[in-house]
Amino acid sequence: MRVLVLNPGSSSLKSSVVETATIPAADPEGSVPAASAESLAPLGQIDLDWGVDATAGGDPQDDIRSLVSRYEAAGIDPTTLGAVGYRVVHGGATFRRPVLVTPEVIEQVTALTDLAPLHNGIAAATMTAGLAALPHLRHVAVFDTAFHATLPDAAFRYAVPEAWYRDWGIRRYGFHGVSVAWSAERAAALLARPVGELRIVVAHLGSGCSVTAVDGGRSVATSMGMTPLEGLMMGTRAGSIDPGILLYLLQSGRLTAEKLAEQMEHESGLVGVSGRTSDVRELLQAEADGDGRAGLALRIFVTRAAECVAAAVTSLPALDAIVFTGGIGENAAGIRARIVARLASIGVAPIPEEAVSEDGVLSAPYSSPAVLRIVAREDLIVAREAARIAGSAAT
């Protein structure tokens, strides 16, 4: 099936058209074919830049109409599409698997916006626009949080009063699940190991950042929590900080709840410490030019990422590989090398500080754990799930 994938992220609307027949699938033993980058390439790909975060984007309906027209101009006839798939960040406790998009589903996704304010609102708007632009197709929502439905209770529960969990649903959900799912499959192919045997840690480092421990293809620990604010330092988000700081700022009247939310979502992280940008490429150049705040921002980022990777390892019986993915994980070779250097105490050997353009193993041959660089191909997982759900609905 040919699927249009729409991925409204925290800084852009990514889109691609994928022919699902080209996506490698695991055999009954869990082995995944090592497909080439060329064979995995989408039929077409168009990305729209929304700047620092998705809430600053334009009109999704105009964006969808523009994308459809541009794909048609490139020779991809909209009538050949079999489905539209959407990556949705937060499914809460409601969505533990992909579903057909309906007005009721969009309403439920919108209701979760408070838990993912940079993502769910724009995802709901994108789905609404997609239904209007392509009403003859089946539309499928694929949720990041669904991959983490396998988290054990000791990993998803917080040490708070029972009523918080029972009555208010306060628990860890985890995010970047679609990216992690692809990383696990791709790592298995690159290492020539069955997915079910691999114990890996996936570091998704981009505008948003998370670390997930995956045991045999199942999420067993992850750094993001009930919302995408927890865990690693990120582009504009602080990650985990002392909750007493937030109480102090509110109780002392220094910040209102609204202003605190704004600064935690948009004015913290790399941009908050550096005072200039969340773009790691610019920060690396500024660091080289002697900018102390840029250098400090990168040192904090590396420290927090290494801490989270090391913590994730404690949820695995052993560690076979560490995967770097996401915009920073894929492209910032210096940041990868710095993070790995801090993991020497847990037996991770150094990797070269050199840029690579292909998926592959960065560590020396026969090193264990292996260190890999894998392009985040959320579109392939979304397309495969959308084709499956749309196909089932048609029978």
Residues designated as active site: 144
Going by C-beta distance under 8 Å and a sequence separation of 6 or more, which residues neighbour residue 203? Answer: 209, 210, 211, 305, 308, 309, 322, 323, 324, 325, 326, 329, 339
Asked if 273 contacts 283 with a C-beta cutoff of 8 angstroms, the reply is no
Rounded Cα gap, residues 188 and 193, in angstroms? 5
Q: Which of 290, 280, 295, 329 is nearest to 309 (CA)?
A: 329
Signed CA dihedral, 291, 292, 298, 301: sign only: negative
CB atoms within 10 A of CB 190: 19
**Rg, Å, the chain Cα set:** 20
Is 192 strand, coil or helix?
A: coil
What Å distances lie between residue 105 and 99, 102, 141, 226, CA to CA? Answer: 8, 5, 9, 20
Two tokens at 198?
């691999």
How far apart are the C-alpha atoms of 136 and 142, rounded to whole Å? 19
7 bridge partner residues: 14
CA 238 vs CA 233, 275, 298, 321: distances in Å: 5, 13, 13, 27
- CA separation for the pair 274, 298 (Å, rounded): 9
